Each structure stands twice: as C-alpha cells, then as structure tokens.
Amino acid sequence: MADRYHILTLNNISAQGLKRFPGARYTVGPHVSEPDAILVRSYNMLKMEIPPSVKAIGRAGAGTNNIPVERMSERGVPVFNTPGANANAVKELVVAGLLMAARNLVPAIRFTEGLTGDETTIHRLVEEGKKQFAGFELPGKTLGVIGLGAIGSLVADAGIKLGMKVIGYDPEITVEAAWSLPSQVRKAHTLEELARAADFVTVHVPLLDMTRNLVDHKLIQKMKPGVILLNFARDSIVDIEAVMAGLAERRIKYFVTDFPHPSLLHHPAVIALPHLGASTQEAEDNCAIMVVDQIMDYLENGNIVNSVNFPTVVMARESPYRIGVANMNVPNMVGQISTAMARAGLNIHNMVNKSRGGTAYTLVDLDSPPPPQVIDEIAAIPGVLAVRYLPAGDSRERAD
C-alpha cells in the first residue's frame, strides 16, 4: 500500500501522458528516489541497478530490448509496453523510406544543395544533372514485409494502397493482425521465399535472441540484385557486415535504416535516420497516455494489461480489499495462498489466477481487510515473488 506513488522517468515522456497522474497522489520526474514504477523509452536499463522499491516498468513504445525483462520477471515485476501506439508513425517513415530510395532523393538533395551560381546557371545544372537521379515508381513492385504485427501489417496495407504487390512473413502472426491484413497480401512460407520475390525488404520484428541477425549474409544473397533493404526495427536484427558486403557488390541498392552504424554512416547508398520512427507528437502522446494508464491501474488495482512478461489479468473491483501476488508458475501456489487467507479467517470474495510461461499472477478480493501478517505469510511462501495489498482509495486501513 502506498499513500503516495513515486514515478521515475528515464526519458522524456509526453506531458499528455504524465498529466494523467493525479498530482495529489503521484510524484513524477527524472530525480525521484525509491520509485514505485519507472517510465522509459529507449534509455538502456540493461546494466542499471533497479531499486527494490520498483513494482512496475512501463515502456512508452513497443521494443523492450533495453529493459532487463527476465531479471524483472524473477523479481515479480511486470514490464509493460504500448502495442500499436506508435505503429502509424513508423509506417509513415517506412513509406518515406520507400520513396526516398526509389526516387534517389537523398543524393538528389545533396546535389541540389551543392549547386552555386546565378539563376540561369542553376537552371542549366539542374536540367543537366537530374538524369543521374531518375528513379522508378512503386506500383507493380514487390514489397516484402518481415513481421506482420502492429507496424508490419500497417506497412503491408500501405504497400497495397500504393499499388505494390506485398508478400509477408510471420510464422507467429496473431489472429488480430491476420484479420487486419488486406487479402492481397501473399503469405511467404519461408524468409527465403520472401527474399527471392521482393524488390523492397522491410523488417518489423522485435529484437530477440531468435531474431538477432535474422537478415544475414545467406538471406541477403537470396535477395534480388538491386534490392532496397529497410530496417526500422532494431540494429542487431540486420547483420551489418553482411549489409556492407551486399552494398559493395551492389546486390543492395540502398540500405534505409533508423539505426546508424559507424561503418555505414557516410556510405552513399545508406539512408540513415536517427531512430526517428516513433518521433511524432501523436505517437509520443499515444504511447505516454497508454503506458501511464496501465501503470496507474497496476499500482492501484493490480490489473495487468499489455505486459510483455506477465499474463493479462483484469478483475473489476467488487470489494475494497485486494491482494495481488506474483509467483512462480509451479503447482499448489493458489492452494497455499488461499490457505494462508483462510487461516486468518478471511473470506475470498473473488479471485483470478493466470500464468504465462514461468510466471503466474493472482488477484484476490476479500470481504474484509487482511491483517498485515497474512501479507507477510504469503510473501514467505516459497515461489512467491512479490505481494501487494491494494486497498481501494478510501479503504486503506488494515485489520490489526
């Protein structure tokens, strides 16, 4: 139970989100000590000492590869993200990437910026020079989309609307994403099938052990000569050495990336952006609003929505006396938790228990306030990772 919640921000989080924390109950900022929760965007938390006071981490965005998710699971701390909240922003930048590459816009702009002379001279240089930047149009070209989640499915849809053929690969596509895909999107059964078919290959998978170097030398060698490769997902998903080799032999015409790498920074066929995918006012507001609401609901009610390491657990309040327990997903946890409550004479009003992988989460509403020793008893059960008493706003007393 907290009288006042403390929220540490590790990056700039949109004020549209932060202002949702009621000032009377929340202290929020970059210098907060003993935080109950941390809000983050791309700040690298992997080597950070995370204070024991932390009960939740909220990523205002999609990727959680900058957060020690496994370490947090072991501590019973859910990590939240905001699926889809910045997907449109990334999709628009991918469309810009397709056009920048197809129309040679970056070298063309560099050329124009280098011109000097009077109006007549510039006119002549423009008309003489433009032929070197002649490009091609998108309709009829094939766009290969690797990963058809929130972003990939919007990119696929945009490709179809631009008149492109679209081939997509995602062996774990969700039913929701599959429904949102235009029927014209062709399913690739393997990455190689997609690589062989596509004039553009764009990557939209999370960075996981399994996706590290997903686009490697072998896959690039299967791509069409002159392919345009786009990476708006994460740097390590695409093997940079392999890209350099692909650029050197001109198999890759352009590499468009949101993750600049020192060895490719000034390469004429690399269009590098400073991780701009989600940098729109709209996306920043959407992500912040979503993550703040999720964190508040978890801190105050124990509900879990959009966690990457915990099951979704939402229970409407029917009693003001609630306990939330994070535990290892092993047999007889619910039995031991409810026995501890019964021993203290507590009647369970409502209860939900769900698991995800090695982690489980239990919410229990009681008919009367729990004595503090029950919380301690539950915390001492082997396999219990974290326990919180979550009384409703005006019921913060415990039975002693």
Ligand X SMILES: O=C(O)CCC(=O)C(=O)O
Nearest to 103 by CA among 135, 57, 61: 135
204 binds ligand X (CB under 6 A): no
Distance CA 199, CA 223 (A): 8
83 binds ligand NAI (CB under 6 A): yes
DSSP 355-376: EETTEEEEEEEESSPPPHHHHH
Q: Please, what is the minimum distance in Å from the beta carbon of residue 310 to ligand NAI?
A: 16
Token readout for 295 is: 């964190």
Pick the stretch among 55-63, 149-157, 223-231, 317-325 that binds ligand X (CB under 6 A).
Answer: 55-63
- For residues 130 to 149, the per-residue mask of contacts with ligand NAI, x marking binding by CB under 6 A and - elsewhere, is ----------------xxxx
- Using CB under 6 A, which of 75, 275, 349, 354 touches ligand NAI? 275
Nearest to 242 by CA among 212, 220, 259: 220
Q: Please, what is the minimum distance in Å from the beta carbon of residue 179 to ligand X?
A: 23
90 binds ligand NAI (CB under 6 A): yes
86 binds ligand X (CB under 6 A): yes
The count of residues in the chain is 400
Residue 41 binding partner per list ligand NAI, ligand X, none, with a CB distance cut-off of 5 to 8 Å that depends on partner kind: ligand X
251 binds ligand NAI (CB under 6 A): no
Tokens 């909220």 locate to 58
Q: Residues 216-220: contacts with CB within 8 Å, 24+ apart?
A: 216/242, 217/241, 217/242, 217/245, 217/246, 219/191, 219/192, 219/195, 220/195, 220/245, 220/246, 220/251, 220/252
Q: Please, what is the minimum distance in Å from the beta carbon of residue 229 to ligand NAI?
A: 15
62 binds ligand X (CB under 6 A): yes
- Using CB under 6 A, which of 278, 289, 326, 384 touches ligand X? 278
41 binds ligand X (CB under 6 A): yes
Residue 42 binding partner per list ligand NAI, ligand X, none, with a CB distance cut-off of 5 to 8 Å that depends on partner kind: ligand X
Q: What is the 3-state secondary structure (H, E, C) of 174-224?
A: CHHHHHHCCCCCEECCCHHHHHHHCCEEEECCCCCHHHCCCECHHHHHHCC
39 binds ligand X (CB under 6 A): no
Q: At what angle do helices 150-161 and 87-102 cross, to 10 degrees?
A: 40
41 binds ligand NAI (CB under 6 A): no
61 binds ligand X (CB under 6 A): yes
Rounded to whole angstroms, what are the CA distances from 168 to 122, 159, 219, 354? 44, 11, 15, 33
Residue 227 binding partner per list ligand NAI, ligand X, none, with a CB distance cut-off of 5 to 8 Å that depends on partner kind: none
279 binds ligand X (CB under 6 A): yes
Q: Do residues 315 and 352 make contact, with C-beta atoms less than 8 angstroms apart?
A: yes
Nearest to 169 by CA among 151, 149, 146, 186: 146
Residue 203 binding partner per list ligand NAI, ligand X, none, with a CB distance cut-off of 5 to 8 Å that depends on partner kind: none
> Binding residues for ligand NAI, per CB under 6 A?
61-63, 83, 86-87, 90, 146-152, 169-170, 172-173, 177, 204-207, 210-211, 214, 232-234, 258, 275, 277-278
Binding residues for ligand X (CB under 6 A): 41-42, 61-63, 86, 277-279
